[in-house]
Amino acid sequence: MSILKVDHITIRFGGLTAVSDFYLDLKEGELVGLIGPNGAGKTTVFNMLTGVYKPTSGKIYFNNQEINIKKVSEITALGMARTFQNVRLFTNLSVLDNVMVGCHLRLKSSVLNAVFYLPKYVQEESEITEEAMQLLKEVNLEKLEGNLAGGLPYGQQRKLEIARALATRPRLLLLDEPAAGMNPQETKDLMNFILKIQEKYKLTIILIEHDMKVVMGICKRILVLDYGVTIAEGNPIEIQHNPEVIKAYLGVEAHYA
């Protein structure tokens, strides 16, 4: 069953075509990699999927709904969440509060309930705090719940951003270079973590990543972009041996354990 269908989307900025005729039929439960050189259009694809940019042409369907006409908040409410190439946390809020922000998407209490701290709001806030703490345990940050997010080391900020995305209870999770800035052990832990949350939360995942050990190690299907155009699609073995991909991106034919 398709959870996301990207129907030949193109986006132009003035005379520049950033992404051309991009197509993707994503099945529920897949973990797909999106790779390519810097400036290939990968993050632009994510921005179109999440409503930050509107395609110049083409359509996007998520959960059988056309979403290229919807707002970012509406798309998130449907069950799509993302992290960013450059970490975007509320640096002056606590670690716990950053995750709770994601949970607040589902608050049903009125503003009046919140202002006067009425029982319904108090109950919901208690439930959200408990859920946020559970997500912090998933990323081993529960002991830092009161720390300011901006004071965390880079690797922990990456994990906190993923926890905040999970707090929205997504069906589809978009990860934009989650291994950036991580050392080899942190990268290995991240790979295991992504596979763990995919299974536990029944997620479909699209991953942008330059670390080929991550992409080749956990993705079953990979798309390759170059100058906004999809130049290849296939499993890791096919991508590693594709002459056009080697020329445009990988540089040399290689195997990634």
Q: Is 94 found in the same domain as 70?
A: no
What is the pLDDT at residue 108? 66
Instruction: Quote the pTM value.
Output: 0.90
- Of the candidates 104, 130, 154, which is a domain's last residue? 154
Q: Which residues of the chain have pLDDT under 70?
A: 106-119, 121, 251-257
Q: Is 12 found in the same domain as 71?
A: yes
Looking at the domain assignment, is residue 15 inside a domain?
Answer: yes
What is the pLDDT at residue 200? 93
What is the pLDDT at residue 201? 92
Q: Is 222 found in the same domain as 188?
A: yes
Contacts 24+ apart (CB under 8 A), 129-136: 129/96, 129/100, 131/103, 131/167, 132/96, 132/99, 132/100, 132/102, 132/103, 132/167, 133/96, 135/99, 135/163, 135/166, 135/167, 136/95, 136/96, 136/99, 136/163
Q: Is 113 found in the same domain as 223?
A: no
What is the pLDDT at residue 255? 47
Q: Is 75 found in the same domain as 8?
A: yes
Q: Is 181 found in the same domain as 60?
A: yes
Total tally of structural domains belonging to the chain:
2
What is the pLDDT at residue 161? 94
The pLDDT tens digits of the residues spanning 188-197 come to: 999 999 999 9
Q: Is 102 found in the same domain as 201?
A: no
Return the CATH number at 18: 3.40.50.300
What is the pLDDT at residue 122? 72
Host domain of residue 137: 89-154
